[in-house]
Structure 1
């Protein structure tokens, strides 16, 4: 049940040097990208709630991304 379009993920892979992307690899990329986005969103939501907001802002995303690095 992928929400991200496979074609968009394949385009990103090709823009970053992949000449061809097999369908199994494309499915795996979508799965991993969705998992990463889900985790990033959870962390960003925690930052927003801590700041007393219900809305996730760019700064929350940036902080969440930094905490994963």
Structure 2
């Protein structure tokens, strides 16, 4: 994770951004994840947990399954 602002982090896989995570203003105590296109992906109780979720979604989406 790379800090973007005081409460927003960029999740990177190698040199590529998988998206961002930030404290969820709508649900205090939870962290939200948004992909590189800005689409909301989900929430988790921990920063590390939501970062792992976002990274997993990115890796699965980027795989060539053929």
Q: TM-score, normalised by structure 2?
A: 0.36
RCO higher in 1 or 2 (8 Å CA, sep ≥ 6)? Answer: 1
Q: TM-score, normalised by structure 1?
A: 0.35
Which structure has the greater CA radius of gyration? Answer: 1
Higher helix share: 1
